[in-house]
Chains A and B, each alone.
Chain A
Amino acid sequence: MDGPITVTVRLFASLRDAAGADRVSLSLPAGTPVGAVWGHLPDGVRDVGLPNGARYALNHEWTLPGATLRDGDEVALVLPVSGG
């Protein structure tokens, strides 16, 4: 069994406001999928709720919730967008 991995989670908009920071570092079990990151975020962030339509990016590229995280990865939670 591999040891825990450390990943950085980028947060934007209401999630960033709730965290009081634009990124958090998490120590996770090896093999954790991208989609499981939400459950490891601080309570204050999860209080915002994960909106329908949220997407994920891994190391600055779109990814799917089932993608496996590796040590040193940067994952981003991308809430429904409203640019323009």
Chain B
Amino acid sequence: MIALTAEPLDLTAVAAAVGDPDHGGTASFVGTTRREGDLREVVELRFEAYEELARAELEAIRDEAETRFRARVAIAHRIGPVAVGEASVAVAASAGHRPAAFAACRYAIDELKVRAPIWKQAVYADGEARWLDGSAAPAPAGAGR
């Protein structure tokens, strides 16, 4: 499963998508919108994707993780507004044993973070909104990790 969706993520469905009777372990990662209350309070993140290429890139990452770790991998990412505390990304990976499941899950989320053409805009409690895309306005310290 590769999904880019404006709907809340169905974490059960993401994990179920990697079910395999020959696999004894499933690892999952869920990324949620963080408030950053000790920096500058965030109330919402808005995600935008270059959908055609993002989908292709997520498929490539899945294929790499599945081949490298003999795993099955599913990735789902929200687009549009995501309130603090809600899931913005979910990855699940199953494999014969847990080391490969953990490794495949980590590979997929780490590669997604650096490769997938998806951007977040932080909307702050004071009403300002700022894209985290390397553009001129510096992001507040600690944002966008």
Expressed in whole angstroms, the Cα–Cα distance for A62 and B52 within the complex equals: 11
Give B103-145 as 1s and 0s: 1 = Cβ < 8 Å from A's Cβ atoms: 0000001001111111111000000000111111100000010
Q: Check A10–B118 contact: CB distance below 8 A.
A: no
**Please, which residues of chain B bring their CB within 8 A of the CB of A57?**
50, 53, 117
**Residues of A in contact with B (beta carbons under 8 Å apart):** 10, 12-17, 48-49, 51-54, 57, 60-62, 76, 78-84
B20 CB within 8 Å of chain A: no
- The answer to whether A12 touches B112, judged by C-beta atoms less than 8 angstroms apart, is no
- What are 30 residue pairs bridging A and B, where the CB atoms are less than 8 Å apart in the complex? A13-B133, A13-B135, A14-B137, A16-B48, A17-B131, A48-B136, A52-B134, A54-B134, A57-B53, A60-B52, A60-B56, A76-B50, A76-B117, A78-B50, A78-B53, A78-B117, A79-B133, A79-B134, A81-B114, A81-B115, A81-B116, A82-B118, A82-B144, A83-B47, A83-B49, A83-B113, A83-B116, A84-B89, A84-B112, A84-B113
Complex contact B121–A83 (CB within 8 A): no
Q: For residue A49, which residues in chain B have a CB less than 8 angstroms away from its CB? A: 135-136
Known: A12-B50, A12-B119, A57-B50. A82 touches B133 (CB 8 A): yes
Name the contact of B119 in the complex, choosing from A13, A48, A60 (C-beta under 8 A): A13
Given contacts A12-B119, A79-B133, A83-B89, 18 further A-B contacts (CB under 8 A): A13-B135, A48-B135, A51-B134, A53-B134, A60-B56, A62-B53, A76-B53, A79-B135, A80-B133, A81-B114, A82-B119, A82-B132, A83-B112, A83-B113, A83-B117, A83-B120, A84-B88, A84-B113
The minimal Cβ–Cβ distance linking B42 to chain A, given in whole angstroms, is 13
Which residues between 46 and 70 of chain B lie within 8 Å of chain A, taking CB atoms? 47-50, 52-54, 56
Pick from B109, B118, B133 the residue with the most CB of A within 10 Å. Answer: B133
Q: In the complex, what's the smallest C-beta–C-beta distance from A82 to chain B, in angstroms? A: 4
CB distance from A54 to the nearest CB of B (A): 7
